[in-house]
Amino acid sequence: MTNPTLEHWNTLDASAATDAILPCNGSHAWAEGMAALRPFDTAFDLTCTADRIWLTLSETDWQQAFDSHPRIGEHKAKAATAQSLSWSSTEQSAAQLTADTEAQLAAANRAYEQQFGRIFIVCASGKTAEEILAILNARLANDPATELREAAEQQRQITQIRLRKWLAAT
């Protein structure tokens, strides 16, 4: 059985296809790569290709995807689409913030940004604010190369979740 969203996306011109899938990741190079490899027969083909493209991108392309996310506990991002911000809000919904946790997250986010030069990226779906804070604090111990790989892995996971949401939309 074919997916109606995927079926329609396969028929779009390259520019429209790029724009349609961009909110799933935030990197223009990733979205352009996905659009260029159409048509996809199955959602499985799409999601496997999404990973392959993601892992071949440059650090600059990864950063563009990272910039499409708001900080944990915030609702704005450097470079995000409305759909991406909506998904971020849903992904962070389990992370109910107390004033204390919010202050701790803000301080840890600042420390992370000072140390690594970008916002903290985590696949927040289903995680509490306390769990996210613990992950953030643990990742502050990473060296820059390890942390870049971890941030990229978290973005890959987020992309997979968003692709499933995108494919489920009608």
What tens digit of pLDDT does each residue of 103-133 get?
Answer: 999 999 999 999 999 999 999 999 999 999 9
The answer to whether residue 79 scores a pLDDT higher than 60 is: no
User: Any catalytic annotation for residue 69?
Assistant: yes
Give residue 162's pLDDT: 96
pTM value is: 0.86
Report the C-alpha gap between 89 and 107 in whole angstroms.
Answer: 20
Alpha helices in the chain (DSSP H): 4-11, 14-21, 28-36, 43-56, 59-66, 82-91, 99-116, 129-139, 144-168
State residue 6 phi and psi, 5-degree precision. Answer: -65, -45
Contacting residues for 125 by C-beta, under 8 A, at least 6 apart: 91, 94, 158, 161
Task: Spot the catalytic one: 8, 28, 69, 75.
Answer: 69
